[in-house]
Structure 1
């Protein structure tokens, strides 16, 4: 089955095999590019996440250092700056234990005020606790009104468990201090001494400031980040772990950043799950896959298009060869481009083109000339009979005192003599204009409006030549189809200009114009090989006469004109039609 499929689709077609092979090779290359790009993107994203994690971990370490430094300043504020100001530490001496209810109320009021000031100065602090050993009195103030100390919590036991060193502050984690707060709270603790007798065994009380774990975690990660984790340890003892459990997740699948605060034995570890990178990369991966598939499909399409272009040209050559077998004089095969196939087609077309050119130059020209002579023969009558008849009619008009009629008959006779003379195919433009005016004079006889024929030329009209009787059909076309007689002042204007290799004669009238689309259609009909009906037959005959005399580059063409500006066409003649004017035709014109 596979062999049959291969034989039907690829077996006989070289270019299909080439397209399939290139497509498979490109697919493998793009898969390799995709894998390399994926790994590169993953490494970039991982480096970015690692740098971000290290920055966040370092920021939390700096925050902890600032919190500890601020706490130490608060601890120092318990002692006097000079001997004239008693320090707040005196409230923790045994002799300052309140003896009356009033003293107790005053003391509570003072302590509450001091603690409020401390909370204002330390926005990171959740609560402030002060403990006096002499009577076990505890003074508590929290930022959260609902936070209450657990009645059964052993504060004295907590303080007694602290080491007896001078390395302050102590940083501990005490769970259960608040009965309505279940999350971990980190405490900074500093012992309070008698300023006059500072000894480890003479502690008078303790100053403790609590930091909510949510505050520390919020300084590490934004609210929308639920997959990162921070762990704060002191000398191997976990103070804070933002994870759902206390087991830790170090290892594969996680990025880590560790920052130290050695003077307090603190270690801050930040962790980020790499699945976030994979999730972010998944979106990029789909875009990358779509992009590579699009590029691959575009490459395959371009290859298929280019090879299809070659195969179409080869197929066209094959069909042309078959037509040549039946008819050696078919149209030459069209060439495009400048490649090897075009060169092959060009060389093969040489014989066909030469034959076609020969037919166009000789056979068609002879046939058209014979056709024109045949038409002339059909229209001819005995010239002497015609001249004698016109002269008799003119004399009769003179006898009857009809001078206008006599002049018109004389003009008609001159026009017929000129038409039937066959001594020359080309005449000066001045002569063609003169006899065209005779024609207009006869045509407009008895009509209220006369059509004016004007000429503008940058050269002497005797020096410019044109085919004989080529202007009359154009004038007749303007009168019949352009409704020239309806114009307020009907004018036919003939302009002549010369360029390096051609003589241009523009014939324009102010009659009814035609739309741009009709101008294009008329141009196409003029250039077509076949004849087209009786409409504009005069234009077609003039065009074919000019081409038969001078060759295909010459003839008539419609000049683009707005319909309201009338109608205009251009007659292109060779430059030598001007050069060979002058003397010879001027002498003949004088005799005429």
Structure 2
């Protein structure tokens, strides 16, 4: 704490130049570090995204090419069970006659070549029976006894006639060739596809034949090397710019089919992220593997269900960003040097005018407001000095204006109180006129004055922008009574408003302008028979009102003037604007009228007033 106190005391007592220099240093360092950090984070995020997309596309493309090859094998294997020649060869061969077996082997080899010989990348294909291995054994040979005792045969039987893909396995260990386990040979690690052949035959008479029940069903075995499966990934790894790229293919159980590390092939070495990849099928994830953050892009093969993946360290993906760190460090050093020079120059330039103002302020503390500092230059300091000098000349005037302003505020308050009294005075006057009319037995006049007084009182007491519909209709009925007294026998009004709406809040006097327009303009030329219909009803989440008259109506030009605000009438635009402000721009009014056919005004509003941005209304 003592050290912090001493540092704070030194900072408080330091000269302005030192403070300016340190502040420049801290500010520039902070800005550069923040900008560098932000740019690095954004760049690294974008670069990781691009790398993930690129690796994902590579995996998907490679899978598509592999799927095409493996699907070719599957398609061909579906044709073998209905091959008539293969059926005849296997049913006619004499397992006890070597010559018969050799002839059958040549014919079956030709049949296999017809189906699988077009793919030069395929290693070998056989049809195995307990007695013999039919096929081209030039590259490899599979003993029937070892095969039918192996897991390959059991998986083929479990497939029930479907082609079953077997992940990479060690040939000698899986097929029981113990003598070959210590040897190194070309096909020591294989991936295979096996299938039980449910052979059928259709003779010339159209009779369908299947293998005799006493005859064991032959097994198709197609062998693929790891190079066949992993060639595309190996080629990409050689051409890639990433130094520590690795790849592989694993099955659902975690058996390694291929791997960039040959020692892991044909092992049960499931990656920790395999479950997540199997659930997603395609995509990219980031995981910490052996203490390193890794980017893993993966895709599931449609033909086999295996997961192909490519993974690289995040450091490799961001290797191009190392240059950014060096440039940022160099830029920081340069900017710090520049900031020190600028801080020194600016401190000298700033301190002189500040010193002059400091002396002038001391004189002002003593009550001397007639100080004048010499003015030099048009910069901020020159403007500050001129403002300081002007302040001294104006200070007394400001004090006087402050007193005068307070007096005017008091006068304004008194005037506001007087204005508040005016409505009450007018209401009391109307009440006096009402009683005079009653005393003189002028009933019509007394009712008009009474209604007018109630209207005035209702309007002045309610200062809000809305009131209940019940209040608005009561006010409107009084207005209609006054107007019907003025225009005797000219019109009558029918009102049909749902009772459930009477307590809802509505804009004050929102129907009155339309009733007034109907009386003054719509029905003015009629001598009698005028009709005004007012209707209100609920329509889902909104409420609608109509004001209909049978007056002279309006043409399109008049309606356009009202909508554009060019017409003399201000009541209708005012109501529409208030509705939009209270309920939203989707509400308002529609005018439907034509000359000689009356006018219909439709008002649409919400059930509850709400806030609405003015920018949206305008």
The two structures have a TM-score, normalised by structure 2, of 0.41
Larger radius of gyration: 1
With the length of structure 1 as denominator, give the TM-score of the two structures: 0.43
